[in-house]
Amino acid sequence: MQGNKSAKANRINITEPVYAKLLTDTADGVTYDEVRSLGKAMQVQLTPSVSSGVLYGNGVQQENIAKMNGLAMVMDVNKLAIEDRAIILGHEYKDGIIHEKAGDEAPYIAAGYKVEQTNGKCELIWLLKGRAQPINSSVQQSTDSLNFSTDSITINFIPRDYDNEIRYFADSANQDLTEKQINDWFAAAPSTAPVPPTA
């Protein structure tokens, strides 16, 4: 039996949450704005949106298929900067103040992050086209202990029009992934996946 190309590694931490505003998405290609920080990540939960179907024949299942058609991401961060909050939610930012209006529409964005692993390895993720929901936050009074308050961002991702892609996912534990691809991952927005060096 042939083994795989991935070294042993286990997830231990999430770091470097970033985003980039999607500017265009057409049959000719996609463009994004600059990559910006999402602050300090605490946790990320991904839930696939799935279309499924079951076909029966002669009283038993003949087919059972489930296909992913989107992803919902919930990311908890320490605190989202006010400028980034305005960009992600489609609000006006002026003179240090966000002006939130009824009917403001969040733009499409890409969001990415790194998952640190044991043995110096990491997973690298870009989610390519999603809209954020209004941000959840809770604030508590300090008592005998300091109670930190955080922000929770929910973003629903759909396939891009250009190529029908939803996510780029890479793992440095796999020997096919090059150092150049790892270094390029967050250097620019994900119009295309980072490519290995040419020979």
Q: What pLDDT is stored for residue 140 in this prediction? A: 78
Q: Is residue 4 in some structural domain?
A: no
Alpha-carbon distance of 88 to 35, in angstroms, equals: 12
Instruction: Report the pLDDT value the prediction gives residue 114, as an integer from 0 to 100.
Output: 96
Q: Is residue 71 part of a domain?
A: yes
**Is 72 domain-assigned?**
yes
Q: Is 80 exposed, middle or buried (0-12, 13-18, 19+ CB in 10 A)?
A: buried
The pLDDT of residue 199: 57
The domain tally of the chain equals: 1
* Ramachandran bin of 69, using left for φ above 0, alpha for ψ from -120 to 50, beta for the remaining angles: alpha
Domain annotation covers residue 1: no
pTM for this one?
Answer: 0.88
Inside any domain, residue 81: yes
191 belongs to a structural domain: no
The reported pLDDT for the residue numbered 7 is 76
Q: Is residue 190 part of a domain?
A: no
In a domain, 6, yes or no: no
Domain that residue 114 falls in: 11-184
Each residue's pLDDT expressed in tens, for the chain with a length of 199 residues: 566 787 788 888 999 999 999 999 999 999 999 999 999 999 999 999 988 899 999 989 999 998 989 999 999 999 999 999 999 999 999 999 999 999 999 999 999 999 999 999 999 999 999 999 998 877 778 888 888 888 899 999 999 999 999 999 999 999 999 999 999 999 999 999 999 987 5
CA distance 104 to 19: 19
pLDDT of residue 136: 80
Q: Are 128 and 112 in contact (CB under 8 A)?
A: no
Angle at 12 between CA 47 and CA 191, to 5 degrees: 55
